[in-house]
Amino acid sequence: MNLKDMIGGWFIGDFTPSVWTTSDFEVAVKEYKAGDKEPRHRHDIAIEFTVIVRGKVKMDAIQYGEGDIIRIDPGDSTDFEALEDTITVVVKKPSIKDDKYIV
């Protein structure tokens, strides 16, 4: 398997395709081009951590860069904008289908 075969960079979790199916957590490696945006969303159950591996992003009007780790607790919402070409690693626990709500 290859990351390009996964959907949105998500490669571990309770979904298909996945290299390891588990409801315990989800993992993604995501690539963005400068200017890419994701709508504001929240999770009611899952906690989510985003690591900025390369690039710069803005989430909730705060700028983050290489090495920053962002924690999003259940019920908190965030938006996302890539200010530069960016690579992130995202871990979400647990992996729950339909726990993403666009705000």
User: Distance between terminal CA atoms of the chain?
Assistant: 34
> Rounded CA gap, 16 and 18, in Å?
5
pLDDT averaged over every residue in the chain: 97
- Give the pLDDT of residue 31: 98
For residue 67, give the CATH number of its domain.
2.60.120.10
Q: In sequence order, which residues have a C-beta less than 8 Å from that of residue 62 and are 6 or more positions away?
A: none
The range of the structural domain enclosing residue 60 comes to: 24-96
12 close to 89: Cβ distance less than 8 angstroms: no
Q: What is the rounded CA–CA span in Å between residue 58 and residue 100?
A: 20
pLDDT confidence bin for 13, thresholds 50/70/90: very high
The domain tally of the chain equals: 1
- pLDDT confidence of residue 52: 98
Could you tell me if residue 19 is inside a domain?
no
Q: Is residue 2 part of a domain?
A: no
What confidence category does residue 2 fall into, taking pLDDT thresholds of 50, 70 and 90?
very high
pTM over 0.75: yes
Residue 49 lies in a domain: yes
Could you tell me if residue 75 is inside a domain? yes
User: Has residue 17 been placed in a domain?
Assistant: no
| Residue 81: predicted pLDDT | 98
> Does residue 92 fall inside a structural domain?
yes
pLDDT tens digits for range 32-71:
999 999 999 999 999 999 999 999 999 999 999 999 999 9
In a domain, 64, yes or no: yes
> Cα separation of 79 and 87, whole Å?
16
Q: Is 18 domain-assigned? A: no
